[in-house]
Amino acid sequence: MTRLIVWRHGNTDWNAGSRVQGQTDVPLNDLGRQQAVDAAELLIKFKPDAIVASDLQRASDTAAALAALSGLSITFDKRLRERYFGAWQSLTMTEVAERFPAQYAAWKAGQEVGGEVETLEALGARVADALREAAASVPANGTVVVATHGAAARQGVARVLGWSMEQVRTLRALQNCHWIELTHDDDRGWQLATYNVGPFTERPSPPPV
């Protein structure tokens, strides 16, 4: 049985301020760095065989906390980057709602936003390809940990599982430095084992943007 851990990065100042990050390269803040250390101390118990990460520094620095404990090197994959939000990036969600009311309403409803914003279909497809490739890089009974982003994790995992957009809407936002565990074997294929598991967080994370 192959185990795939899909891990959201730690907190950033833009997370804390409900500011849209998308593919902007925002670093972890002090809380995020501590979350990464705390999560790594739990994830090391899975005895990972490989670590793969988005090349954006909030994900790569999160992965580095686990690499330091495991002695593993990190493989970087640009396909694991967060959803591209176009003109939304760097704006607060309040500013998005004011400047792009129709797009914001579509986003709130879980629909495609349009404009420059990457489609959910494209996001899910590219992240799922990266997840499957990461899982194939370890032995049949191995474990790979993939450090990525909130929307990327949710859409990519849903695509791997073959879920519809309606099913994805039933999942709550993945908290900072929490993860999703998937397993795979030849008889049952991909299965969801756990969702939104991680270290204690003193304050709730905003939606993954």
The answer to whether 71 is annotated as binding is no
Distance set, CA 30 to CA 12, 37, 102, 103, 135 (Å): 8, 11, 35, 33, 31
- Residue 176 annotated in ligand binding: no
Q: What CA–CA distance (Å, rounded) separates 136 from 132?
A: 6
13 is in an annotated binding site: yes
15 is in an annotated binding site: yes
Q: Is 82 a catalytic residue?
A: yes
Q: Is 9 a catalytic residue?
A: yes
196 a known binding residue?
no
- Is 10 marked as binding a ligand? yes
Using only C-alpha atoms, the chain has a radius of gyration, in whole angstroms, of 16
| Residue ranges of E strands in the chain | 2-8, 50-53, 74-76, 143-148, 179-185, 189-197
Give 25's DSSP letter: -
Q: CA–CA separation, 78 vs 134, rounded Å? A: 13
Indicate which residue of 41, 82, 116, 184 is catalytic.
82
The answer to whether 81 is a known ligand-binding residue is: no
The response to whether 163 counts as a known ligand-binding position is no
Which residue of the set 9, 149, 178, 181 is catalytic? 9
Feature table: binding site for substrate: 8-15, 58
Which of the residues are catalytic? Answer: 9, 82
Tell me the binding residues.
8-15, 58
